[in-house]
A and B are shown apart, each in its own frame.
Chain A
Amino acid sequence: MKNTPAILIATTLVSTALTPLALAAGHGSQKVIGQTTALIAEAVLPTLVNAQSERDLKDGESANTDFPFAEFKAIATVGEVDAKSGLALTGYPDGQAAWLADDETVRVVYQSESYATMGKAPQPETYPWAMMNGVTFTGSHIHTIDYDRAKFASFMSH
């Protein structure tokens, strides 16, 4: 096993049943954050390999993962929801970073590209991001995801 696994926040939707918990319109998923293991990223486009490779693609599963320089594991996927709040992770993930929120917690932060009513999806607006005074914003969100530090380290090395 390679010693430098990379992490990935997948950038497309999870194709499972719709649920009222997923407060992002069109981001339907009953999966909670971190539950999805399939990768969106592909090592090579199947159309560049052969027709059989394209036919072997299965919805919700990884495609070709024979990455030459790294291994990838999903730590969060757009459309997954917070187990308590039901709020979904919105896409498309762009700028991101991570730091220690405290000695036991790794905080991963990413911001989503979203274009509100300029988006192409049938319901392109994201769910309202509520500020402390009640004002709401649709469009881009900046998500924080907290991970148990020890479990995160184990996840990354196994």
Chain B
Amino acid sequence: MVKGSGKLFHTVYNGFGEVVSSPTHDPSRLDGKWGNQTRPDGTLIQFKPDFKLSQADYFFQSFCGAWYEQANKYGEGMGFADDVWLTAEEWEIGRMFPAGSSDSAATLGLASLVVDIANETAYTVPALGQTGYEKLMPINSGHKDYVVIVAAGYNHGQEPAPNRIYVGIKNRAADGSEINYATANQRDAFLARNGLLYGKI
């Protein structure tokens, strides 16, 4: 009955919009970084000795809830433009760092990801925030130009914590202007046509 197995993606982009490549301590090399141990200036924060990785270059912190959604779920032009898988690194990983949660709070954070299923490519989605969500769940916006995602996660000590809802606008560049697909790179084009390059929480 089983024909085979594999992995959902084979290329991954980080929060800087770069394809993740071999790790480097050079802050100017934004491709050699993964967000859960990297500051926005590109500097790497080492894990404490007990938490150093021994099996791989980086690690995906716990993927909890996922969401698979087909393109045009709510009708032609409604919802995502591509078949996608939404997921996120959950929790908070401060105990891995020398300065605890101060260090983890200084990183880009725990990634919110969307996978382009057809092209086996995962993109970190900065517009969704990188805060250790448990689950990202789209709902019907009722409008062709917008996508809406409920971002469920952890309170991180805040009680009560507000419900977070992302509203993304399709075909916009990261600065909110209309994107030019003729010049946009692959990552920006994918995120933009799915309403994930520009939006508000």
Residues of A that sit less than 8 Å from B by CB = 25, 32-34, 76, 82-85, 87, 89, 94-97, 99, 105, 109-118, 125-148, 151-152, 155
With known contacts A111-B87, A137-B60, A117–B5 Cβ distance under 8 A:
no
Q: How far is the CA of A117 from the CA of B63 in the complex (A)?
A: 15
A112: chain B residues at CB < 8 Å are: 63
A81 CB, min distance to chain B CBs, angstroms: 9
Chain A CB within 8 A of B47 CB: yes
B48 CB, min distance to chain A CBs, angstroms: 9
Interface residues of B in 82-109 (CB under 8 A from A): 85, 87, 89-90, 93, 95-96
With known contacts A34-B1, A129-B7, A139–B61 Cβ distance under 8 A:
yes
Q: Count B-side interface residues using an 8 Å CB cutoff.
A: 47
Q: How far is the CA of A140 from the CA of B68 in the complex (A)?
A: 17
Partner of A136 from B6, B58, B61, B89 at Cβ < 8 Å: B58
Q: How far is the CA of A112 from the CA of B55 in the complex (A)?
A: 17
A selection of 12 A-B contacts at a CB cut-off of 8 Å is: A82-B4, A94-B62, A95-B64, A96-B66, A97-B67, A109-B66, A113-B64, A116-B55, A135-B21, A140-B62, A147-B2, A152-B1
The chain A residue sitting closest to B8, CB to CB, is A142
Contact A137 B4 (CB under 8 A): no
Interface centre among A33, A113, A116, A148 (most CB of B within 10 A): A116
The chain A residue sitting closest to B4, CB to CB, is A146
Contact B85 A116 (CB under 8 A): no
Q: How far is the CA of A33 from the CA of B3 in the complex (A)?
A: 10
Cβ proximity bits B55-87 to A, threshold 8 Å, 1 near / 0 not:
111111111111110100000000000000101
